[in-house]
Structure 1
Amino acid sequence: MKIIADENLAFTDYFFAEFGDINARAGRTLTAVDVNDADALLVRSVTQVNQNLIAHSQIKFVGSATIGTDHLDIPVLEQQGVTWSNAAGCNAQAVAEYVITALLYVRPQLLDANDTFTLGIVGLGNVGSRLAFMAKLLGWNVIGYDPFVQRDPIEQVEFTELLKQADAISIHVPLTKDGEHPTYHLFNADSLSQMQPQAILINSARGAVVEEQALIQDIQKTQRQVVLDVFEHEPVIQENVLDLITLVTPHIAGYSLEGKARGTQMIYDAFCQKFGFIAHKKFETQLPICAQYFDQADLKTILKQHLTEIYDIQCDDANLRACVKDGIVEQKAFDYLRKTYPLRREWAAHGGPKA
C-alpha cells in the first residue's frame, strides 16, 4: 500500500509504517502527480483536497489530522467513492489553553479578575466548550453564542448581545460561506463597532472569519488589543498588519504534542476501519514524561509561577515577526516555523486540569 503523508504529521511512522510505504511530502505543494498512484492520503489544513488533486488518482482514503474540513471538497470525495475522515476535537484542549495563555499574557491581571471579567465565546463546539470549562476554573464569567448547539452549562446569548457584553471574545467556528449562519467575515466593520473598545479579540479558528481591512480600521480607531493565530490571507501576512496586532502566532494554537498525536491517532483509527485492520496502537505510549508543575497549590498560583515555562507564547510572537522581509512574511519562513515548531505539552501532562 502506498501512503502519501504531510511531512508535518506526528507519529506517522509509528501508526502507518506497518501498512506499506509512506511518502512524506510538503502539504502545501502537493500535486496530482504526487498522489496519482497512492492508496491513501494523510493531510493537514494546508492541503486543498479537491478535483484537481485527486481526479485521476486511485486514492481510497483521505485522512485529515485537523479539526476543520473546509480544505476538503467533500462532495468530490464522496462522488469518487473516497472515504474521508477528519480529527474533530483532536487539539481542542491545546487551543483552549492557548487562549487562556494569550489572555494572561495580554492582561496578567485577569488571573485575579474572577467574575468581573466576561469571556465571550463564539462557537461552542469541541474547542469552545472546553475553553468555557477552563475559563470557569479561573472564576471568569462566560457567555457563548452558537446557533447550532445548546450547551446547558454555558449562558448562551445572541451574537449582538455577546458583542456588547464581553470583555474578551474568542472565536471558535469553522469557515463557511453558505447557509443560514455563514461565518465568512462574521467579524466585520459592523460587528467590530458593536464590541466594547477595550474588549480583546482572539482568533484561533480561521483567518477569514475576521475581515482584515475592517480589523485594521477598528484597531486604528479603538487601539483594541487583538490576538491572531490565523490571518485572512495566510500565509501572506503584511508587516503593517503585524504591527497593529498585540500578539501574533503562526497558526499553532493547536500545536501541542498531545493534540498532534491525537489527530494522527484518529485518522489511523478511521484508516483501519476503512481497510479492515485492527487498530491496536495508542498515542499515549509514545509521549515522554515532562516536568510536573501542578501540585497541591491552587491553579492560579501555579499559573502565576509557571505559565511561561509551560508555554512561552511571547517567543512564538517574536519568531513570527522575525519572518518579515521587505514588508511581508515570507511563505517559506512561515511554513518553516510551523514545520519545526517545538510542540508544547498540554497542562494535563504537567499534572494540571483538562476539560
Structure 2
Amino acid sequence: MSRADYPVAAEAVVVGLGPVGSELVLPHLPENVLFVAEPSAGDLAVAEGAIVRAAYDVDRDLLARMPRLRVVARTGVGVERVDVAACAERGVAVAVTPGSNSRAVAEGAFAMIASLVKRVGESNAFVASGQWGSGSIPVPGDLYGKTLAVLGFGRIGRIIAGFGAAFGMRIVVHDPFVQAEEYENTSLDEAVRQADAISLHLPGGGGELLPLELLRTAKPGLVLVNCARADLVDTATLQAALDAGVLGGVGLDVFETEPVREHPLAGDPRVLLSPHTTGLSEGAMAATFRMAAEAVTAVLAGGSPAHTAAVA
C-alpha cells in the first residue's frame, strides 16, 4: 500500500510493531491518524509513528525502512531491543510507558510468593492425584511474621513491599541506588541471609546477582520469585538450590529464551512458571497502550513525549 491509497482524511500513519490491539490505541490517537496494526513494507515506508511491543527489535535495518519515522513508543520501560542511539541519530524520539504495569507485576509476583509459601500448587496436586488419606499432606507455610526481602526498590518494589507489610511480613530492602525510608535497608548479603522470601525487581545485565554460594547462606526453604530479568539468577543455580533444599519454592515470569518450550524446572511441584505475563493484566495493557498512543500523539502535534529513553 502506498500513501496515495490511504483515506484522504488521514494526515499521518502510525503502525503497530508486535501485537497491538487497535481498540486500545485508536481512542488515544488523533482522528486524522490512520493506525495500521499489521503493516506492510509500504506502510512502514510512510509511517511517522510506531507503537512497539517488548519482543520487537527496532534496529538500524528497520529504521532504514521507515524514513519518515518520528517517534517509537515502546510499551514498558525496557529498551534493550531498541537501538536508541540510532534513533537519536535520526532524531526519532523513543518514548516509554513507566508505571503502566507496575501494580500488575507486583500483584503477580506477590501472588507467586503467597502460593509458594502456602504450597497451593502442591496441595492441589495432592488432592487431584488421590493421595489424600494415604500420602503425607503438604503443610502450608506462613506469611505473617516472616521476612520478605525486596531486591530493587523502584515502582514495583515499593508496591510489593506494601503488599508484604499488609500481610504482617517484615520487609527488608536492598537497592544500590535507592534508600527506603519506611523499611530496613540492608546489603545484598544480609538481605539473602535474613529472608524467608525474596522478590527480584532489579535490572539485569550485570551478571548473576544470586549465585549458588550466596543462596547457600539463606535459611533453608527460601522462596525466590523473579519477575524482573532472567539473568539475575541462572536456571542451573535454581535447580541446584532446589535439589539441595536451599530453595523451597521458585516462581519465574522471565526466561533466558522466550517463548519457553521445555524448561528444566517444569513439572517440579515447588516451581511456578508463567509466560512473562505478570505485567500484561487487562488494566495494565490498557494503560500502557494509552500512554504509548499519547506519546505518539504528542510528537505528531510537534511536542515531546512525557517519558523518553536516554541514549546509553
**Equivalent residue of 1:194, what SS?**
coil
Letter in 1 for 2:168: G
In the alignment, which of 159, 174, 186 is matched to residue 130 of structure 1?
A: 159
Quote the Cα distance in structure 2 between the aligned partners of 1:158 and 1:139: 22
The corresponding residue for 1:45 is 54
> Is the Cα–Cα contact under 8 Å of residues 74 and 96 in structure 2 kept in the other structure?
yes
User: Structure 2 vs 1, CA of residues 126 and 218 (structure 1 numbering), >3 Å: closer, same or farther?
Assistant: same
Q: Which residues of 2 match residues 274-353 of structure 1 at below 5 A?
A: 274-276=299-301
The percent of aligned pairs where both chains have the same amino acid is 26
1:34–1:242 distance in 2 versus 1, CA, 3 Å: farther
Deviation at 1:242, TM superposition (A): 1.4
Match among 225, 236, 239 for residue 249 of structure 2: 225
What amino acid is aligned across from residue 211 of structure 1 in structure 2?
A: D
The structure that is helix-richer by fraction is 1
Whether the 8 Å contact between 1:209 and 1:232 is mirrored in structure 2 is no
In structure 2, C-alpha distance between the alignment counterparts of 1:225 and 1:156, rounded to whole Å: 24
Residues 308-333 of structure 1 show CA distances to partners (whole Å, capped at 9, x for unaligned) of xxxxxxxxxxxxxxxxxxxxxxxxxx
Equivalent residues of 1:123, 1:144 under 8 A apart: yes
Q: State the partner residue of 2:137.
A: none
Determine if contact 2:20/2:51 at 8 Å carries over to the other structure. no
Which residue in 1 is equivalent to 2:259? 235
Name the CA shift for 1:17/1:157 in 2 (closer, same or farther; >3 Å): same
Deviations 1:16-52 (A, max 9, x none): 3624222224xxxx99887343211111211122223
- Say which SS state the counterpart of residue 242 (structure 1) adopts: coil
* 1:2 has 2:20 as partner: no
Partner of 2:283: 258
Paired residue for 1:98? 108
From the CA coordinates, give the structure whose radius of gyration is larger: 2
The aligned length equals 268
Deviation at residue 252 of structure 1 after TM alignment:
0.7
Give 1:324's aligned residue.
none
Q: C-alpha distance in 2, partners of 1:95/1:194?
A: 28
Match of 2:31 among 18, 29, 37: 18
**What does residue 207 of structure 1 align with?**
230
Instruction: Determine the structure 1 residue equivalent to 2:78.
Output: 68
Report the TM-score when normalising by structure 2: 0.77
Q: 1:138 to 1:277 in 2, by over 3 A?
A: farther
**Alpha-carbon offset, residue 186 of structure 1:** 1.8
State which of 272, 282, 288 in structure 1 corresponds to 2:297.
272
SS of the residue 1:42 aligns to: strand
Question: 1:15/1:216 Cα in 2 relative to 1: closer, same or farther (>3 Å)?
Answer: same
CA contact (8 A) 1:201 1:227 kept: yes
Contact 2:25/2:293, CA 8 A, preserved across alignment: no
TM-score scaled by structure 1? 0.69
**How much has 1:231 moved relative to structure 2?**
1.1
Separation (CA, whole Å) in 2 of partners of 1:111 and 1:171: 20
| Paired residues of 2:19 and 2:53 also in contact (CA < 8 A) | no
Aligned equivalents of 2:80, 2:25: Cα separation in 1: 23
